[in-house]
Amino acid sequence: MGISRIRTVLYTMLAVLCLLTPFALAQEQDQSWPPPLEGAVNGTVTFTSDLFLQIPPAVQQKRADEGAALFHMDATPPIVDLVFHGDLPNRALNGTGWSSWGDIALASDGRVYVGVGDHGDDAGGKAHAYLYQWDPVTKVLKQVVDLNTVVPRTQGESAWSKLHARIEEGADGNIYFSGTLNDGNMADQPQFKWSEAIPGGQLCLYNPQTGEASLVASLPDRRCTATAMIDRQRNIWWCNLETGPNGLWAFDLTTKQPLYQTPDGAVIFNRNFAMDREGYVYFNGEGGIWKCDAQAQTMTPMQSNLGEGASGMRASTDEDDNGWIYGHTMGTNQIFRFAPAQDKVELLGPNFMKGEYTTVCVLSPDQKYVYYLPGAHGQAADYGTPVIQYDIAQRQQKVLAFMAPALEQLYHYVPGGTYGVKLSADGGTLYVNFNGHAADATRPAEMRPTGFGLTAFCAIHIPDSER
């Protein structure tokens, strides 16, 4: 065979390979996800393990460092229900992939609502985001809402790729949620296509009685939200408006009308705000904490602050009977407590070791403990994905379990951290919506071990002796 003939054959083979490669990648992308969970019944495995109580070497090495927070270990391993979010259209091999970014809801009937999205092509309208319901009786996690079908997309509108704002049960028993983009601050950019039907971010609800989802209201045009909260007593939905300078927006769920909007730029750090029992909202404004009153339509600065180096509140609990709101700072990663009536802040020390990024925390029903999982943004597995019970009276940290060693060794799953945690009404079960990735045994070659790509839901049953 002559050189020219060989060259022709090679070029032909290369051309065929180039044509087949996108098809092969598409086929690879469309393979079913998540991977099967060995031993699962209706998708869920229930187990316990002494691995939960083994302190990882990285933690053993650093726990004696100067300035590291002290902790002690639980004496009894918890029983855990583990399930992957199912019925996903593909493996979302786009760098970030399937991920969960917002706080979850505990409904009054004991069911839990969580969200995931694929961090996909939001501007092109090809992203996905879903709402799931966990039933603690049947131990089934089922997909109940496709966010991008609540309002039909018929004009090429952009698509929601995340459920970042907190999911909440309203006073009417419905579940309220709002989808967003990969970066909600980009909603006013020209690549995003909006319409009269979908002018930007929207507040929606899921009716557990009918199984139907519907639109409640549209946010101001070309704006989205990653931070929200319901005042159930006054039936007001609060959110932070992203895009450009941020501000708060209060929507009356009774009248279905906007109630109050702060000036743009009022919110300096937009990932958390707190609420006291009177319905006043406390947010991260210029110079520290500010107070917002929707009824009076006012906002005023507080005198207290969260200390040098803190960007603001990153996580906060409900107000307890003694008038304290507990939380975690952004930047310095300290536990704090804030008494709104006294305009007083106390810093309680690093939240784990020397301080780790923590995005959500929850107060126990008996108000004895604050629960949280440090290392939200994929880093938690580096130190075993600890589950922390903070004793308020003793100001002591207890690790209930290091989740990563057991989940990786037994079920090939690496839990990378969480943005969503709730505690059952009896204080006995901690619900966690995990980001994570498949361990090497089952991880697709294209899925990097970044802490994302495979999401999971866990019900962690706390032993009676440990609460």
Q: What is the mean pLDDT of residues 447-465?
A: 95
The number of beta carbons lying within 10 Å of the beta carbon of residue 269 is 18
pLDDT tens figures, 411-445: 999 999 999 999 999 999 999 999 999 999 889 98
Within 10 Å of residue 349's Cβ, how many Cβ atoms?
A: 15
User: What is the residue whose two structure tokens read 């408006």?
Assistant: 241
Do 161 and 84 share a structural domain?
A: no
User: Nearest-CA neighbor of 421 among 69, 100, 79?
Assistant: 100
Q: Quick one: 64 and 131 in the same domain?
A: no
pLDDT at 110 over 80: yes
Residue type, 403: M
Residue 464 structure tokens? 């009676």
The torsion region of residue 6 among left (phi > 0), alpha (psi -120 to 50) and beta comes to: alpha
Q: Looking at residues 170-174, what average pLDDT do you find?
A: 98
Give the separation between CA 110 and CA 43, rounded to whole angstroms. 19
DSSP 8-state class, residue 52: G
pLDDT of residue 151: 97
Residues 229 and 137 in one domain: yes
Same domain, 78 and 114: no
**Amino acid letter at 47?**
F
- As a whole number of angstroms, the distance between CA 34 and CA 432 comes to 18
> Which residue is associated with the tokens 């946010």?
219
Fill in the DSSP letter of residue 5.
Answer: H
How does pLDDT run across 347-360, given as a tens digit for each residue?
A: 999 999 999 999 99
- State residue 30's pLDDT score: 56
Do 397 and 376 share a domain, yes or no?
Answer: yes
Report the range of poorest mean pLDDT among 24-33, 315-324, 337-346, 443-452.
Answer: 24-33
Asked, for residue 363, whether it belongs to a domain, the answer is: no
Q: Which residue has the tokens 């007001």?
A: 236
**What CATH code is carried by the domain that includes residue 230?**
2.120.10.80
- Dihedral (C-alpha) 230, 236, 241, 246: value to the nearest 10 degrees? -100
Which DSSP helix (H) or strand (E) runs through 116?
A: strand 112-117
CA distance readout (Å), 281 to 99, 263, 406, 444: 29, 15, 40, 44
- Name residue, tokens 């139907």: 212
Does 282 fall in a domain? yes
Confirm whether 319 is domain-assigned: no
Q: Which residues contact 357 (CB under 8 A, 6 or more apart)?
A: 314, 330, 333, 374, 375, 376, 377, 379
Query: Distance between CA 4 and CA 152 in Å, rounded?
Result: 56
Does some domain include residue 316? Answer: no
Tell me what pLDDT residue 155 has. Answer: 83
Instruction: Tell me what the mean pLDDT of segment 227-240 comes to.
Output: 98
Please check whether residues 201 and 231 belong to one and the same domain: yes
Question: In degrees rounded to 5, what are phi and psi of residue 91?
Answer: -90, -5
Asked whether residue 27 carries a pLDDT value surpassing 80, the answer given is: no
pLDDT band at 11; cut points 50, 70, 90: very low
Q: Is 350 left (phi over 0), alpha (psi -120 to 50) or beta?
A: beta
| 461 falls within a domain | yes
Range of the domain at 425: 32-102+370-467
Q: How many CB atoms lie within 10 A of CB 455?
A: 26
Give the per-residue pLDDT at 156: 86
Q: What is the pTM of this model?
A: 0.93
Q: Residue 204's pLDDT is what? A: 98
- Domain identity same for 129 and 42: no
Contact (CB, 8 A) for 129 and 163: yes
- pLDDT tens-digit profile of 308-336? 999 999 999 999 999 999 999 999 999 99
Look at the chain and count its residues.
467
Q: What is the mean pLDDT of residues 118-134?
A: 98
* pLDDT above 90 as % of the chain: 90
Residue found under tokens 């709104």? 340
Write down the pLDDT at residue 448: 86
Whether 297 and 207 share a structural domain: yes
Cα distance between residue 5 and residue 10, in whole Å = 9
| Domain termination residue (choose one: 275, 302, 329) | 302
What tokens appear for 371 in the block? Answer: 């629960």
What pLDDT does 92 receive?
96
Q: Is residue 459 part of a domain?
A: yes
Per-residue pLDDT at 18 exceeds 80 = no
Q: What is the pLDDT of residues 360-415, one digit of tens each?
A: 999 999 999 999 999 999 999 999 999 999 999 999 999 999 999 999 999 999 99
Calculate mean pLDDT across residues 283-307: 96
If one counts the domains in the chain, the total is 2
Strand 129-135 and strand 312-319: pairing?
unpaired
Are both 251 and 114 inside the same structural domain?
Answer: yes
Cα–Cα dist 161/412, whole Å:
26
Could you count the other beta carbons within 10 Å of the beta carbon of residue 359? 24
- The residue among 253, 282, 302 that closes a domain is 302
Residues 440 and 462 in one domain: yes
Q: Look over the chain and give the mean of its residue pLDDT values, rounded to a whole number.
A: 93
Radius of gyration of the chain (CA): 23
- Could you please report the per-residue DSSP string of 78-143? PEEEEEE---BSS---SSS-BB--S--EE-TTS-EEEEEE----TTTT---EEEEEEETTTTEEEE
Q: Are residues 175 and 218 in the same domain?
A: yes
Query: Looking at the predicted structure, is the pLDDT value of residue 12 above 70?
Result: no
Both 217 and 274 in a single domain? Answer: yes
Query: Which pair of tokens denotes residue 110?
Result: 């004991």
- 100, pLDDT greater than 90: yes
In a domain, 196, yes or no: yes
Q: What pLDDT does residue 198 have?
A: 97
For residue 363, report the phi and psi dihedrals to the nearest 5 degrees: -90, 135
Task: Quote the strand ranges of 165-310, DSSP E.
Answer: 168-169, 175-177, 202-207, 212-218, 228-231, 236-241, 247-252, 257-261, 269-275, 281-285, 288-293, 298-301
390: in domain: yes
Q: Which two tokens stand for residue 251?
A: 């929507």
Q: Which of 302, 326, 342 is the last residue of a domain?
A: 302
